[in-house]
Structure 1
Amino acid sequence: MAKNLILCQFCEISKEIKLKCFTCDLLLCENCADKHSKFSGSEEHCIIDLKKAKKPENVDIIRQSNLKSIQCTTHNGEKCSLFCKDCKKPICSFCVLEPEHKGHNIEKISTVYNNQLFVLKGIKATIEKNLPDINTGVRECSSTIDNYNEIKQKIIQREREIKERATAEAEVLINELDKLVKPNIDALVKEKQNIQDIECKLEKKKEEIDTVLQSHQATCVLATFDKVDKHLPLKINLDNTTPKQKFRFIVPNSPSINFGSVTKGPILKVIHTYVTNVPFIHNLKSFKDGTLVSIFRKKDHYRDFIGYSNDQGKKHIINNEICLPMFVRSPRDMTVTDDDMILITNGTGEIRCLNAYNEKFKYFKFDRRFSNDEQFKHFNYKRRFSFISSDINGIHSNGHTILVGLSDFHTSKNHPSDIYIMVLNKEEECLKKSWNTETKHNALSPPNKTYQIEKLTKNINGDINIIDKEKVIVFDYNFRLKWTYEKLHSPNDIVTTSYGQIVVSDNVSIHLLSMDGDLLTTIGEQEGINNPTCLHIDKNGQLLVVCNGEESDDAKIIVVKMLCLSPKRVKSVWAIFGPDY
């Protein structure tokens, strides 16, 4: 380890440098610092511990000391106690008498310093306040540029792949053509040349004979006869030549290959973060007037509550709370009908209904043991709705229909749990039901086995979207499987947009999917969304994401603006070439 070679600049002996006199610009040991402060005129010197010199409070002290020791550049030995605002420089008391400062605006240097320091600190505070938004803007622009360059490179790569494949296909065809030529092409060219030579000689002799035959002189015939090679081959051996051969290049009726397409991706942008007054929110929906309704739990409390909030300040205050009764223990899911009735499932085989206006619970009943659908003729908001020996989790109200997701558990190993969905209406009828054991090709059957319906919702095209503990499963209104999405970490909620996109939250991030199951974009911790638990799309089309707090923190409701959700294709690119891929 290198030794400290710096000595105390006062005693020039000690190597234990711990302080500095910023007035004299001297490095001092502790003993010399005490001696230095006892010298006449050094009582107000600024002596600071070197380890603490960079602390803001000490920086201000050092600067104040430096302010008092500014030397005049015009009058030697004089300190500047004034400031000329016209010349914008410190001056001493003698400078005021100089002609160059006559009539200038002169003020105490300490006053000017304090005013300017206050302004600079204000500017810094303003910059620090606005800089995060500027940084966010830079990141967003950079992200867009990077995304553009990435997609451009993918298009170029796709072009390269198509060219390479086209070259390979052409090479295959040429090789096949070469195999079809008999003999090989070189022998065929040589044979052609031999025949052409014979053809040339015959043409030449024919011209000579034509000249003789056209002559009026008999001597021409006599003179030419002996010169003509009468054994010249007038025929070729057809057995040694290739028969007339014709090849065809067949192009399909649709010679286009799908190069790909470019679409404008949707944007999820956090615009507000509201802090609530409760730590845990399990479900979030809204009434027709926009009032939010939620199931929540208070700190140090084991019972759940329903509350309402329409605050638009910095906090979303949940009030008008209603303690859920004991028979609504551990609510699983909640939905709000178009007439503002609250339906709650609790996994015990019952659905409870709460009238938000008179704050009274009602319930209705259904017994799965019946062999027909007669039980649904008594379905309304005034009855108890009970699914005997069934576990009800997901529920969703969509217009005049209500979707219910159930699990019917059996204890026998030969009879595994049945998963089924029912579509009910408010006219006391069961419209549809699907069991995972009814048909081989049912969407709820293996290999797409669904073990428990956590949440479900309906899309604009009638598709039913559900989540279990692992994935998203989408099937049409007739319960035919359409697609699944499994790139999730324990999904916990699902909603759909007005354009039909599907928003799913897991314990890490938010996934935005197309109606065909393609991942469009994600948003998560980088945007301030940590451990999202439930989702809701409000009447303004904005996505509300609930992030529950820790034991001592309150839950947050994060408002996400969803841009460019219209699924219009911006540009479709097609390349014309060869066979259809």
Structure 2
Amino acid sequence: MEDDLSFFNENLKKMELRCQEGAEIYDKAKQKIIQREKDMKEIATRESEILSQKLNVLLKPQNDALNKTKETLQKNIEHLKHTTTLTDQILHSNDAKLVFDIAISIKKELPSKDIKGLNVSVKSPVEFIASDLSIRFGSLVIMPKLAIIQSVQTALTTIICLESFQNGTYVSIVSPTSSDSQTSLEYFQLEGSSFVVECKSSLECKPCGLKVIENNRILLLCQDKILSFSKSNKKEIFFQSHLVHCSPDPCMCITAEGNILLGCNYGFFIRFSDAILVSNKGFLRNIFPLKYHVAKIAANEHGIYMIISHSSSMKAVQGLSTTFELKWTYEGHRSINSKVKFEPMDIAVSAAGLIYVTDKNTSSIHVLTPDGDFVANYGKEHGIIDPEILHINKEGQLIIWCNDGKIHVANISS
């Protein structure tokens, strides 16, 4: 009993500390919510006061003048009614003294009909125009943790994208170098600290992207078609359209429903089309015109997330609904991108819905909620230098390819 009592006392103290820690975390978050409410109320009050002042400038002088004219008319009507009543008393009275007393009290002059403001016209209606009430109050999110569990120096110095199979094999599109003038697919494993190449396949085309689908096949996105490709080099045309032809750097992703979302860029214009994955064949279904260049697309069951640019100087991440309605735009964080502009390179979405975006100019990874709110940033202080390409593998780990050829495998939690 004494031994057991010691056990329970010791664990009670530990639990008291945990309860205190949990209560502090809760109270801190609760205070931030309350403060956010106060801030938004103050902003709304200030905006209301500003608009009220503008309204006073626009309409108050007019309304004051109209009310003054109205008061003059009412006063004259009351005077004439009162005088008419007194005159009727004079005409129907036989009391001479009363007649003379009333007559003396009556003003002999009638009110002037020359009243200022009678012809004043009311100004055009002033309407309060408000945008749709989409209050971005904020998001509740458990702060994500990123722990690098494996770092491997590879021979990959110029890759376009990175994907993985169920068995843990990775595949990437390797761009031509000075020693190799042909684009290729490289299959490899990460074993401990070793980079193990399984095989390498040369490509006749120069694909812009790839996605792994069922039966260990991949889809290669080329300028005018999508190829279905296997490790044994067996390939066939999966989807072809003139919409893709001559489109600079098209991009694609596969939605939660199994559709292909294809971005075809014409200058600053893009069309989306999606094809259903049926028997490794696709067909054109919908086209959505948008007025900007889309560099990368990612999607899950909650929405579509894109890296976009309106010009060479403006780049951002946008969140769209599954019906392509714009929900939010993220152009970097004020504390991280105060001196250098946000320049997103690649995007990946975790199973929990968190959005990971590489930022070239700050050499870091921004983490956003599904609502586009910034929650964390990972960079040099976490051992990540010049991250560019991102991928979530089948185990839900974040794979980070850096500009120096190093690949990090990180456990992410949220």
TM-score range, shorter chain: 0.5 to 0.7
Relative distance call for 1:432 and 1:486 in structure 2 (3 A) is: farther
Residues 532-567 of structure 1, C-alpha deviations (whole Å, 9 max, x = no match): 121111111110000022xxxxx111112112x1xx
Show the counterpart of 2:348. 495
Partner of 2:352, secondary structure, is: coil
Show the counterpart of 2:214. 338
Which residue, out of 158, 169, 184, partners 2:35? 158
Q: Is 1:479 the counterpart of 2:324 in the alignment? A: yes
Relative distance call for 1:359 and 1:485 in structure 2 (3 A) is: same
Residues 127-182 of structure 1, C-alpha deviations (whole Å, 9 max, x = no match): xxxxxxxxxxxxxxxxx9xx97x9689749939968x97xx99xxxxxxxxxxxxx
Relative distance call for 1:350 and 1:518 in structure 2 (3 A) is: same
Show the counterpart of 1:277. 155
Show the counterpart of 1:421. 272
Per the TM alignment, residue 277 of structure 1 is displaced from its structure 2 partner at its CA by 2.8
Quote the Cα distance in structure 1 between the aligned partners of 2:168 and 2:369.
26
Question: Which amino acid in 2 is paired with 1:426?
Answer: L
Per the TM alignment, residue 430 of structure 1 is displaced from its structure 2 partner at its CA by 4.1
| Structure with max Cα Rg | 1
Question: Which amino acid in 2 is paired with 1:280?
Answer: T
Which consecutive residues of structure 2, in runs of 5 or more, have no partner in the other structure? 1-20, 47-135, 310-314, 333-340
Q: Is the Cα–Cα contact under 8 Å of residues 278 and 299 in structure 1 kept in the other structure?
A: no
How many equivalent pairs are there?
282
Quote the Cα distance in structure 2 between the aligned partners of 1:429 and 1:405.
15
Partner of 2:381, secondary structure, is: helix
Partner of 1:492, secondary structure, is: strand
Q: Is 1:355 the counterpart of 2:213 in the alignment? A: no
Q: Is 1:467 the counterpart of 2:321 in the alignment? A: no
Which consecutive residues of structure 1, in runs of 5 or more, have no partner in the other structure? 1-143, 170-257, 370-386, 410-416, 437-443, 550-554, 566-581
Per the TM alignment, residue 284 of structure 1 is displaced from its structure 2 partner at its CA by 0.8
Structure that is richer in strand per residue: 2
Q: Is the Cα–Cα contact under 8 Å of residues 296 and 306 in structure 1 kept in the other structure?
A: yes
- What does 1:311-330 align with in structure 2 at a 5 Å threshold? 311-325=190-204, 328-329=205-206
Q: Is 1:558 the counterpart of 2:408 in the alignment? A: yes
TM-score by length of 2: 0.59
Which residue, out of 259, 279, 292, partners 1:401? 259
Quote the Cα distance in structure 1 between the aligned partners of 2:213 and 2:37.
54
Relative distance call for 1:392 and 1:424 in structure 2 (3 A) is: farther
Q: Is the Cα–Cα contact under 8 Å of residues 281 and 295 in structure 1 kept in the other structure?
A: yes
Show the counterpart of 2:286. 433
Per the TM alignment, residue 295 of structure 1 is displaced from its structure 2 partner at its CA by 1.5
Relative distance call for 1:265 and 1:408 in structure 2 (3 A) is: same
Relative distance call for 1:562 and 1:307 in structure 2 (3 A) is: same
Show the counterpart of 1:310. 189
Per the TM alignment, residue 516 of structure 1 is displaced from its structure 2 partner at its CA by 0.8
Per the TM alignment, residue 354 of structure 1 is displaced from its structure 2 partner at its CA by 1.7
Per the TM alignment, residue 456 of structure 1 is displaced from its structure 2 partner at its CA by 0.8
Quote the Cα distance in structure 2 between the aligned partners of 1:313 and 1:159.
46
Relative distance call for 1:426 and 1:160 in structure 2 (3 A) is: closer
Q: Is the Cα–Cα contact under 8 Å of residues 139 and 373 in structure 2 kept in the other structure?
A: no
Show the counterpart of 2:171. 293
Per the TM alignment, residue 392 of structure 1 is displaced from its structure 2 partner at its CA by 5.1
- What does 1:81-160 align with in structure 2 at a 5 Å threshold? 155=32, 158=35
Question: Which amino acid in 1 is paired with 2:397?
Answer: Q
Per the TM alignment, residue 274 of structure 1 is displaced from its structure 2 partner at its CA by 1.1
Per the TM alignment, residue 527 of structure 1 is displaced from its structure 2 partner at its CA by 1.2
Identity of aligned residues (%): 28
Partner of 1:336, secondary structure, is: strand
- What does 1:8-407 align with in structure 2 at a 5 Å threshold? 155=32, 158=35, 263-297=141-175, 300-325=179-204, 328-329=205-206, 331-346=207-222, 348-356=223-231, 358-368=232-242, 387-391=244-248, 393-398=250-255, 400-407=258-265
Relative distance call for 1:531 and 1:159 in structure 2 (3 A) is: closer
Q: Is the Cα–Cα contact under 8 Å of residues 472 and 484 in structure 1 kept in the other structure?
A: yes
Partner of 2:275, secondary structure, is: strand
Quote the Cα distance in structure 1 between the aligned partners of 2:225 and 2:384.
33
Show the counterpart of 2:393. 538
Show the counterpart of 1:42. none
Q: Is the Cα–Cα contact under 8 Å of residues 307 and 322 in structure 1 kept in the other structure?
A: yes
Partner of 1:526, secondary structure, is: helix
Partner of 2:219, secondary structure, is: strand
Relative distance call for 1:156 and 1:284 in structure 2 (3 A) is: closer
Q: Is the Cα–Cα contact under 8 Å of residues 173 and 209 in structure 2 kept in the other structure?
A: no
Quote the Cα distance in structure 2 between the aligned partners of 1:421 and 1:392.
14
Partner of 2:174, secondary structure, is: strand
TM-score by length of 1: 0.43
Q: Is the Cα–Cα contact under 8 Å of residues 227 and 239 in structure 2 kept in the other structure?
A: no
Relative distance call for 1:492 and 1:278 in structure 2 (3 A) is: same
Quote the Cα distance in structure 1 between the aligned partners of 2:321 and 2:213.
22
Quote the Cα distance in structure 2 between the aligned partners of 1:512 and 1:277.
28
Quote the Cα distance in structure 1 between the aligned partners of 2:351 and 2:190.
25
Q: Is 1:455 the counterpart of 2:296 in the alignment? A: yes
Question: Which amino acid in 2 is paired with 1:509?
Answer: S
Question: Which amino acid in 2 is paired with 1:481?
Answer: L
Show the counterpart of 1:518. 373
Partner of 1:311, secondary structure, is: strand
